[in-house]
Structure 1
Amino acid sequence: MAESQFLRSMDELIPVFEREGIKLVLEPHPDDFIEDGHAAVNLVRGLNRGWISFLFCTPHTFHQGNDATGIISAAAEKVTYVHLADTLDHTASNGLRYIVNPPGSTVRVHQHAELGRGEVDFGEVFAALAAVGFDGVVSSCVFGWKEQAEEIGIRQREKATSLISTHFGGNVLA
């Protein structure tokens, strides 16, 4: 139902976006109508517009299906944006990585932590991005540590710059 509503909205919006020269970057998101990364890539490709692309959000890796290489490879040139943050794998330990009360609660944990505080394999992510020739935007996307925002931002930039240098080589423009 939600996907059909989205597509109906796109029928109305596509002519406006094209007339105004607006680019659209779509992201699968926890608790949205498409969480799975492969399904989201298929949706982006199915819309068949050069100005519609895909955002890979690293803290959603496990919600997207825990297949960063496969998703990024399938998206290839459609990946134009990456959100950079870490998270724990909520599916690990028989789904008991997080303990919530009361038992049976339908809450979904959604973290965006500093790189190195979770379980996302950033070497895998950046190797996959390099393999598809990614030349887009990478932005830090850490939430929940407002009191340390400046320090985290500096460390995030250093870690991102190192990953980019390692996997793409050469000088990094930041």
Structure 2
Amino acid sequence: MLRTVLASAVVACAATASAAQAQVPMPSPNGSEAQRAAISRLDMLDGEWRGTAVITGPQGRQELTQTERVGSHLGGSIKVIEGRGYDAGGNTQFNAMATISYDERAGRYGFRSYAQGFSGDYPFEATEDGFRWSTPAGPNARIEYVATVKDGVWHEVGDYVAEGQPPRRYIEMRLTRIGDSDWPSAGAVPPR
């Protein structure tokens, strides 16, 4: 009798779990429609870019040839960015990677950056003609970045903002779009 009751309970649990699973839709491998729509607001960044970046910091003023390549991935549900800064001799002085995603449950963008040995998740906002984001830069300080992209020109500034001090320009970048790119989605490993 106990065996019959236990067997019935196992069957009932399995049937309940199976019915619950059947009601949960299978997630898309390419994100949701809301994610793709939010990320598409940044499609003006797609492609390859080149120009200058002027950095003014504790070591003085430095001018680099700056390049960026930007593309969509996972069916357009994330944006991937790689930036490189080269000195006059063509040596890489700066290299960064970032991903931009959209969390529809929270109703906000996610921005994950990797640069110069640091990484983190930072506040990000898509604007009418570009974007803005910020990163901590010491106690009671941050760098606020604002980018505009218009007519094939990407202009971005980063200001060092510390409590009790006027903002100071840390970086100014002006790039021109030089072409399309199928990066990073091209070249996926095929199943056979």
Q: Which TM-score bucket, shorter chain as reference?
A: under 0.3
State the structure with more CA Rg: 2
Between Structure 1 and Structure 2, the one with more strand by share is 2
TM-score calculated relative to the size of structure 2: 0.21
Between Structure 1 and Structure 2, the one with more helix by share is 1
TM-score calculated relative to the size of structure 1: 0.23
